[in-house]
Amino acid sequence: MRGAARLGRPGRSCLPGARGLRAPPPPPLLLLLALLPLLPAPGAAAAPAPRPPELQSASAGPSVSLYLSEDEVRRLIGLDAELYYVRNDLISHYALSFSLLVPSETNFLHFTWHAKSKVEYKLGFQVDNVLAMDMPQVNISVQGEVPRTLSVFRVELSCTGKVDSEVMILMQLNLTVNSSKNFTVLNFKRRKMCYKSYPTLRIEKNDLRSVTLLEAKGKVKDIAISRERITLKDVLQEGTFGRIFHGILIDEKDPNKEKQAFVKTVKDQASEIQVTMMLTESCKLRGLHHRNLLPITHVCIEEGEKPMVILPYMNWGNLKLFLRQCKLVEANNPQAISQQDLVHMAIQIACGMSYLARREVIHKDLAARNCVIDDTLQVKITDNALSRDLFPMDYHCLGDNENRPVRWMALESLVNNEFSSASDVWAFGVTLWELMTLGQTPYVDIDPFEMAAYLKDGYRIAQPINCPDELFAVMACCWALDPEERPKFQQLVQCLTEFHAALGAYV
Ligand X SMILES: *[C@@H]1O[C@H](CO)[C@@H](O)[C@H](O)[C@H]1NC(C)=O
Q: Which is nearer to ligand X, 2 or 221 (CB)?
A: 221
CB of residue 136 to ligand X, shortest distance in Å = 12
Would you count residue 50 as binding ligand X (CB under 6 A)? no
Q: Can 365 be counted among the known catalytic residues?
A: yes
> Quick one: 40 or 53, whose CB is closer to ligand X?
53
Q: DSSP secondary-structure letter at 503?
A: H
Residue 178 or residue 212: which is nearer to ligand X going by CB?
Answer: 178
Residue 5 and residue 463 in contact, taking contact as beta carbons nearer than 8 Å: yes
Window of 73-81, 118-126, 375-383, 438-446 that interacts with ligand X by CB under 6 A: 118-126
- Among residues 60 and 328, whose Cβ is nearest to ligand X? 60
Residue span binding ligand X (CB under 6 A) among the ranges 71-79, 170-178, 211-219, 323-331? 170-178
| Size of site (CB under 6 A) for ligand X | 15
Q: Which of 51, 154, 196, 259 binds ligand X (CB under 6 A)?
A: 154
187 vs 339 by CB, closer to ligand X: 187
The answer to whether 347 touches 497, Cβ cutoff 8 Å, is yes
Q: Which of residues 130-149 bind ligand X (CB under 6 A)?
A: 139-140
- Measured distance CA(207)–CA(420) in Å, rounded: 13
Among 44, 131, 150, 152, binds ligand X (CB under 6 A): 152
Among 182, 240, 338, 416, which residue interacts with ligand X (rule: CB under 6 A)?
182
Task: Enumerate residues 6+ apart whose C-beta is below 8 A from 495.
Answer: 15, 16, 17, 18, 474, 487
Q: Which of 69, 70, 78, 153 binds ligand X (CB under 6 A)?
A: 153
State in angstroms the smallest separation of the CB of 118 from ligand X. 8
Identify which of residues 22 and 221 has a Cβ nearer to ligand X in the complex: 221
Beta bridge partners of 154: 110
Identify the bridge partners of residue 190 per DSSP, sorted by sequence position. 100, 169
- DSSP string of 126-161? EES-TTTBPPPEESS-SEEE--SS-EEEEEE--B-S
Q: Which is nearer to ligand X, 12 or 221 (CB)?
A: 221
User: Toward ligand X, which CB reaches closer, 83 or 109?
Assistant: 109
Cα-Cα-Cα-Cα dihedral of 245, 246, 251, 256, to 10°?
-130
Of all residues in the shown chain, the one whose CB is closest to ligand X is 124
DSSP β-ladder status, 204-205 and 258-266: unpaired
Please list, in sequence order, all residues whose beta carbon lies within 8 angstroms of the beta carbon of residue 394, skipping any fewer than 6 positions away: 367, 369, 387, 405, 407, 408, 441
Instruction: Find the catalytic residue in 89, 341, 365, 375.
Output: 365
Closer residue to ligand X in complex, CB, 157/372 = 157
Check binding of 178 to ligand X (CB under 6 A).
yes
Q: How many CB atoms are closer than 10 A to CB 128?
A: 16
- C-alpha pair distances (Å), 398 with each of 39, 220, 407, 452: 48, 31, 12, 11
Tell me the CA distances in angstroms from 93 to 38, 54, 84, 121, one per residue in order: 10, 11, 10, 19
For residue 316, state whether it binds ligand X (rule: CB under 6 A).
no
Q: Of these, 13, 137, 172, 271, which contacts ligand X (CB under 6 A)?
A: 172
- CA 318 remoteness from chain centre: 16
Q: Which helix (H) or strand (E) holds 496?
A: helix 489-506
- Letters for 204-223 (x = contact with ligand X by CB under 6 A, - = none) are --------------------
Residue 113 CB, nearest distance to ligand X (Å)? 11
State the minimum distance, in angstroms, from the CB of residue 60 to ligand X.
7
Which of the 8 DSSP states describes residue 216? H
Phi-psi region of 226 (alpha: psi -120 to 50; beta: other; left: phi over 0): beta
DSSP state of 462: P
HEC readout, 8-46: CCCCHHHCCCCCCCCCCCCCHHHHHHHHHHHCCCCCCCC
Shortest distance (Å) from residue 403 CB to ligand X: 42
Q: Which stretch binds ligand X (CB under 6 A): 120-128, 253-261, 398-406, 476-484?
A: 120-128
**Which of 122, 148, 217, 306 is in the footprint of ligand X by CB under 6 A?**
122
Please report, as residue ranges, which positions from 78 to 117 form the binding site for ligand X (by CB under 6 A).
110
- Using only the alpha carbons of the chain, give its radius of gyration: 24
CB of 421 to ligand X, least distance (A): 31
Which region among 41-49, 177-185, 302-310, 448-456 touches ligand X (by CB under 6 A)?
Answer: 177-185
Chain residues in the site for ligand X (CB under 6 A): 57, 110, 122-124, 139-140, 152-154, 172, 174, 178, 182, 185
Q: Which residues are catalytic?
A: 365
